Structure formats: C-alpha cells, structure tokens
Structure 1
Amino acid sequence: MKGSCLCGAVTYEIDQLDMPIRHCHCRTCQKAHAAAFATTAGAMRKHFRWLEGEEVRSSFESSPGKKRWFCRTCGSHLIAEREGQPHVIVRVATLDDDRRWRVPAPSLAPA
C-alpha cells in the first residue's frame, strides 16, 4: 500500500497494517490534525518505507519520546513513532491505494 501527503511531495509504502485501525482522540492528535480525532493504525517498521520527499519531510517531538512526521510543504501529518517501539503509527487517511484496509460495513439485516 502506498501513501502520500496532500501535495504528493512525500510518499511512503507499507506492506501491511499490523495493528487495528482506531481513532485517537487525545488532545495532541486533536491539535495536530485540527479534528476531533485521528484515524491511525500500526505498521511494523520492517513493513514501512519512505519513498520520496526527504527534502520536505520534517518531524517534531509532540510529547516526550514521540516524533510526528509531516510534509513541510502542505502540512500533512503522515506517521508518528516512538523510539524503541517496533512499529510506526500510520495516519490511515494518507493511504492512497485501493483501500483494502477498510473495515467492512456492518450488515443491515436483522439479527
């Protein structure tokens, strides 16, 4: 699966999502994304690769030990990571591909 920022300058690729898709609504995610929550999922580091955009990719430490990576051109947040953890936290909305990662819609049939 490939992902990118809004302007397309920074791209990445992951082989698979290794952790469930979830909504984080901590105050830091709310501020970083200017939204009520950020939809995230974990990918093991061995399954994640930056492809393009090293010259415009930047990061900041949003809380002790947590680094958020974003595009300096358009401001899109792409991933977050904590040093020493075996995974990165992908911002699901930045994935570009056919959305194989979507959770199936619940059935509307009576139970």
Structure 2
Amino acid sequence: MLTGSCLCGRVAYEADAEIDGVIHCHCETCRKAHGAAFSSLAAVPRDRFRWIRGDAVRKSFESSPGKLRHFCSECGSQIAAERAGRPTVMLRLGCLDTPIEAGRQWHIWRSDGATWYDPAAALPELPEGFPPT
C-alpha cells in the first residue's frame, strides 16, 4: 500500500499498487509547476488509487489539454496528475509517505532541461543543511 500527502497534511491518498519505475521529468511545465530542476513521478493504476482526505482543499489545474495536476490549495504541494482516458495516475513522489525502492529510472524531456542542472554531474552530498560558507 502506497500512501502520500501534501506538506500541510490536509490532502492524502492511498494506492494499492507497487512502483514499477521512476521518471524524472525535466519538461518546462514540470519545472515551473514544482519550482525545481525536475519532477520525480511514478504511475499507478487509476482503479487502485483513491483520495482519502482533502476534498475541500484539493484543487486541479489543467496544465495542458486533458492533463490535470492536483494540488493542495492550502500549502501548494503538487500531489498527483492524470490525463483524461489514461489508465494511470501519476504520483508526484516528493509527496509519497511510503518508502520505496526506485528500481528502474529514467530522465525524460532533457531537451527542456534547466541549463544550471546536469543529472550526470557528481555533486557533493551533505547529510543535512547547507554547505559551510
């Protein structure tokens, strides 16, 4: 069972599914929607996904024809997305509460990627906080 929620906790979902693969999308729309270099997401079957709270604050934005991005109107977290007629819902993995093993992964829409980020670059990693000045 996968569970996920927004930053303030008002919106949450469950999905009786497993993550088969993780996509890191670098398209301009994802970058702007998330305010980041890319959005990490995974598909789950629509019929195994359900919202469990937050109907009053959950909003949707049609970012392209037929594609709805669901978010919390209180804290702004992007939670999931779906396209009309598709059998899956795309979970925004930053809101996933369940630990997963990513397994297969892909970077997509690199042609739209942020000029300041290279996913192939080996960068220093810090366990917490910002680098010392």
Give the alignment's TM-score, normalised by structure 2.
0.73
Which residue of 2 is the match for residue 102 of structure 1? Answer: 101
Aligned length: 102
Larger radius of gyration: 2
Contact preservation (8 Å) 1:30, 1:36: yes
- Give the secondary structure class of the aligned counterpart of 1:55: coil
Q: Could you list the runs of 4 or more consecutive aligned residues of structure 1 that deviate by over 6 angstroms after TM superposition? A: none
| Displacement of 1:17 | 3.4
Which residue of 1 is the match for residue 125 of structure 2? Answer: none
Contact preservation (8 Å) 1:14, 1:48: yes
Is residue 89 of structure 1 aligned with residue 71 of structure 2? no
| Displacement of 1:91 | 0.4
Is residue 70 of structure 1 aligned with residue 82 of structure 2? no
In structure 1, stretches of 5+ residues that fail to align are: 105-111
Q: CA RMSD in A?
A: 1.2
| Displacement of 1:16 | 1.5
Deviations 1:11-63 (A, max 9, x none): 10011135411100100000000000000000010110100000000001001
Give the alignment's TM-score, normalised by structure 1.
0.87
Q: Tell me the percent identity.
A: 52
- In structure 1, C-alpha distance between the alignment counterparts of 2:55 and 2:68, rounded to whole Å: 16
- In structure 1, C-alpha distance between the alignment counterparts of 2:102 and 2:82, rounded to whole Å: 24
